[in-house]
Structure 1
Amino acid sequence: MKKLSFFNKILFIINTIFAIALIFAIFLPGLSPNKFGVFSLFSIVVPAVIIVNILFVIYWIVIGFKKQLLQSFIVLIISYLFIPQLYKFNDNINQEDSNTISLMSFNVRKFNMYKWIKVDDIESKIKDFIENEDPDILALQEYRIPKNFKLKYPYFSNPPAENYSDSIQNSKHRIALGIYSKYPIVKEGIIKYARTSSAAMFIDVLKNKDTIRIYTFHMASLGIVPNQHYFGHDDSEKLVKKVRQSFKVQQQQIDSLNKHINTCKHKVIVTGDLNNTAYSWAYNNVRKNFKDTYLEAGQGFGTTYKFNKFPLRIDYIFVDNHFKVKSHKNYDIQLSDHYPVMATLKLKD
């Protein structure tokens, strides 16, 4: 094997840095944002680190330096065993089954209230899309009561915000979450997040003889705006501080949500916009004993949000062990800054 050129030696050093970074990513989910805020920031770029390591393996194969490819190859194998997959190959065929539940989760970004997307009548287009897909349960985040969005669901929940936050006293104000259901809603409620002015919500639905609890949430935004540059020292410093603080708020929100989930005696589905990747403390602590429907039956990158055209998965559906995941689908539609996801579930006997 011939020696590396100076250029390839430099590349191999860079390769080593990215390989070490991917090993570090294995330990990220265990680092509390309250204690390790700076390190938690790294979870955002783990998908890019995985892709770079894959590209290095391809590069070393193409130019014939097989010994050098082992570094990233071995690290990728190790990471595959310990962290969620970035890309899923799935050839499972979803067989029809009458005893299933389909659930869709969608951050609708207030139905384009401030014209972020240059598309007219977003409300009607989202309505047509949902009616075409026809999920049994529909969980919406960044929801507001719209004018042209009347779905033919017999049951709906959008709890008032009164008393869930010390900063909101208007009883007419409602939380920015809503759940539509084809099944009777026998109970609804909110989960006040500790020390934050937002909340999660839940409903209990009755399907045959089973009571199923469905939670939906919208965790604190990281405040990173696509197509905006953060290269200046002051801008970068402000961004880091803002993201660190958002991670800490997310931890408070997740602790409150999990405390409530732990009191539930029903079968549980948890869904929503986590505003964080699958390589974070946030994901690890919401998922816990649940199954991620994308990892069970999804395919591709599972993209739910594109940041400057880079695919990110930050919206999730989690189910407990009472459910078998029959299918998971991601939709590539430009009706919000997020893409909807839907899972078909079967209650185990």
Structure 2
Amino acid sequence: MTTTTLVLLVYTGFLVLASFIHLIRLDYWWVRIWDFPHLQLTALTVLGLVAWLLADQSTQWPLTIAPVGLLAASIYQGWLIRPYTPLAKKQVRAVRRKGGGSQVEENTLRLLTANVFMENTHVPDVKRLIEKHQPDVVLLLETNEAWRQQLEAIEQNYPHRLLCPLENTYGMLLYSRLPLHNPQIRFLIQDDIPSMYVQLELPSGQQIHFYGVHPMPPSPTEHYRSTERDAELLLVGKECRKHTGPIVVAGDLNDVAWSHTTRLFQRVSGLLDPRVGRGLYSTFHAHYFFLRWPLDHVFVSHHFRLKQLRRLPNCGSDHFPILVSLTYQPDPATATEEPKPEGDDLKEARDIIDRAT
């Protein structure tokens, strides 16, 4: 066996393990962290296949297992990523623009959500972004008291607010032009990790259940397991399923769109992902293009159609902001397409919540 073949075998073994280890239902960070880099793993597995073709022509059966493993891994990665490409059917349909111009505007919500990175000093850039795009609602994460004070200038344009500045990188600031009903700052799982719930009132009078979330991720510097993150998302998901009206859930979920937890959250909540059929809209890490995946999310109920979805320019954070424009245009046909629990999904959700609480 040549040195090149040995290197390729080690490279292949690592990639195959990294591609499939996340299927193990363990919540330790060193397993769950492999939920994230599937786009990167796709590129690396394809590169490995090319390397096998160029560097090794051996047909000995033990060696043929390696490229077959890479091929299986690359196909699996493609299956995970495909929904977030134009090859898939859109979960959230585009807004109907024919007629009813004023009615569309009165039923449209423009939301800007951004993890601003607490130590970020580019506050003027964030304010300019808000001024430029004029969203109806602004949700800013990782905000402390210094951020709240420096953002006082925007309060004249956003008379309705729900503010929870914290010094632990989990503060949340919600600014709204729209009236807020029943505003709540909630600590669902951990005493120092808040989430928000409000009912937004559109100009038409239609009310929207809105959730802002930012659970703690599994990582060697944050939390040794993902259970608390997963439980918070699933608690919100179970609550969403009980509502009959329109719902929006937004924030930094510290989880990727294709993970088991996020897909379980969608099935439990019944919410749709506007990225499906459109693109990845990867928001993290803003400074390293080769380590980038979709961490910041907006999920909506079947009552909405999509008017606009954009990833905005970076403002000094390690996350890109997201701007989404949603129009309340309920269609009975779309209600039948919402995700639904499968198999033991509800039992799994209960077990995760029980372990966290």
Aligned equivalents of 1:64, 1:137: Cα separation in 2: 57
Aligned equivalents of 1:276, 1:186: Cα separation in 2: 29
Equivalent of residue 302 in structure 1, options 274, 282, 289: 282
Change in CA separation of 1:127 and 1:159 when aligned onto 2, cut-off 3 Å: closer
How many pairs does the alignment contain?
A: 302
> What pairs with 1:115-130 in structure 2 (closer than 5 Å)?
116=120, 122-130=122-130
Change in CA separation of 1:149 and 1:348 when aligned onto 2, cut-off 3 Å: same
Q: What is the SS of the residue equivalent to 1:183?
A: coil
Residue identity matched to 1:76: S
1:106 and 2:95 are equivalent in the alignment: no
Under a length normalisation based on structure 2, what TM-score does the superposition of the two structures give? 0.69
Is contact 1:304-1:340 (8 Å) kept? no
1:245 deviates by 2.6
Q: What is the SS of the residue equivalent to 1:312?
A: coil
Residue identity matched to 1:131: E
Tell me which residue corresponds to 2:133: 133
Aligned equivalents of 2:10, 2:84: Cα separation in 1: 26
Equivalent of residue 146 in structure 1, options 146, 149, 173: 149
Aligned equivalents of 2:242, 2:161: Cα separation in 1: 21
Aligned equivalents of 1:201, 1:22: Cα separation in 2: 35
1:202 deviates by 1.6
Q: What is the SS of the residue equivalent to 1:11?
A: helix
Tell me which residue corresponds to 2:304: 323
Equivalent of residue 160 in structure 2, options 156, 163, 171: 156
Under a length normalisation based on structure 1, what TM-score does the superposition of the two structures give? 0.70
1:344 and 2:328 are equivalent in the alignment: no
Tell me which residue corresponds to 2:352: none
1:215 deviates by 0.8
| CA offsets 1:289-335 (integer angstroms, 9 cap, x no match) | 32222334335x62332475521321111112222334421123232
Equivalent of residue 182 in structure 2, options 150, 168, 187: 187
> What pairs with 1:210-289 in structure 2 (closer than 5 Å)?
210-222=206-218, 239=220, 242=221, 244-288=223-267, 289=270
Aligned equivalents of 2:184, 2:303: Cα separation in 1: 22
Equivalent of residue 55 in structure 1, options 47, 50, 53: 47
Over aligned residue pairs, what C-alpha RMSD do you find?
3.7
Aligned equivalents of 2:86, 2:255: Cα separation in 1: 23
Aligned equivalents of 2:53, 2:115: Cα separation in 1: 41
Is contact 1:324-1:345 (8 Å) kept? yes
1:18 and 2:15 are equivalent in the alignment: yes
| CA offsets 1:161-211 (integer angstroms, 9 cap, x no match) | 9xxxxxx9xxxxxx8222223333233113322243222002211222422
Tell me which residue corresponds to 2:194: 199
Residue identity matched to 2:115: N
| CA offsets 1:35-91 (integer angstroms, 9 cap, x no match) | x5553233244443233113224445666969876653443333433x245974589
Is contact 1:323-1:348 (8 Å) kept? yes
Higher mean C-alpha deviation, range 181-190 or range 263-272: 181-190
| CA offsets 1:93-150 (integer angstroms, 9 cap, x no match) | x78945243222111234x4xxx55xxxx22221111111222322111234223542
Residue identity matched to 2:44: V
Residue identity matched to 1:108: V
Q: What is the SS of the residue equivalent to 1:54?
A: helix
1:77 and 2:75 are equivalent in the alignment: yes
Aligned equivalents of 1:181, 1:261: Cα separation in 2: 21
Is contact 1:189-1:202 (8 Å) kept? yes
1:216 deviates by 0.7
Identity of aligned residues (%): 16
Is contact 1:297-1:328 (8 Å) kept? no
Is contact 2:42-2:78 (8 Å) kept? no
